[in-house]
């Protein structure tokens, strides 16, 4: 899979295979080209971000979609770690999880989650959420510029 500088790179942290397939599929239908990297647990997500954290030139995600129900390092702890790192904290994190809990949402926002979205249980619902994320985050929002991400500041 080739990555041009135009393509957005999305890190999907999710362990449910059906959701992974659906999310990949919906992104592939969209007008904005996006490359999806999948981490099925927190440790792998950290590895994917490792290059960003140590400042070495690596492929930094433009956006992270984060499920909270992960094996090993929980989604919330991963979120906290990401938002404490001076460089990684700039990457928008959208929590996309089955939880309907307001307490959970509040905690995630306080930890620095850029958005919290409750995953719909049905196919069409999830499809429409992914389209909305793509439409807002990859088209409307001005994302952090990747060119300055490794400038050594932070």
Partner 1 sequence: MEAIHILLVEDNPADIDLTKEALRVSKISLDLSVAMDGLQAMAILANTTKKLPDLILLDLNMPVMDGWEVLRELKSNKRYDRIPVVVLTSSEADRDILSSYDLGANCYIAKPVDLRLFEEVVRSIEQFWFTVVKLPTHAAN
| Position 145 contacts partner 1 (CB under 8 A) | yes
74 binds partner 1 (CB under 8 A): no
Rounded to the nearest 5 degrees, what angle is found at the Cα of 6, between the Cα atoms of 49 and 141? 75
Nearest to partner 1 of 72, 123 (CB atom): 123
Binding of partner 1 at residue 117 (CB under 8 A)?
Answer: yes
- Beta carbons of 19 and 126 less than 8 angstroms apart: yes
Contacts of 140 (CB under 8 A, 6+ apart): none
- CA separation for the pair 138, 124 (Å, rounded): 20
To partner 1, the closest distance from the beta carbon of 152 in angstroms equals 13
Residues in contact with partner 1 by CB under 8 A are 86, 89-90, 92, 100, 102, 105-106, 109-110, 112, 114-118, 129, 132-133, 135-137, 140-145, 147-148, 154
């Amino acid at each position: 899979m080739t990555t041009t500088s135009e393509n957005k790179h999305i890190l999907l942290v999710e362990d449910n295979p059906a959701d992974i397939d659906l999310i990949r599929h919906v992104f592939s239908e969209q007008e904005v080209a996006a490359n999806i990297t999948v981490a099925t647990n927190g440790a792998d997500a950290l590895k994917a971000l490792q290059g960003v954290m140590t400042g070495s030139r690596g492929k930094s995600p433009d956006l992270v979609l984060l499920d909270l129900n992960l094996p090993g390092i929980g989604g919330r702890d991963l979120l906290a770690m990401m938002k404490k790192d001076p460089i990684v904290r700039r990457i928008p994190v959208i929590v996309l999880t089955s939880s309907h809990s307001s307490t959970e949402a509040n905690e995630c926002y306080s930890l620095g989650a850029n958005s919290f979205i409750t995953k719909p249980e049905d196919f069409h619902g999830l499809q429409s959420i992914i389209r909305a994320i793509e439409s807002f985050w990859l088209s409307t929002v001005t994302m952090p510029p990747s060119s300055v991400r490794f400038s050594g500041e932070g």
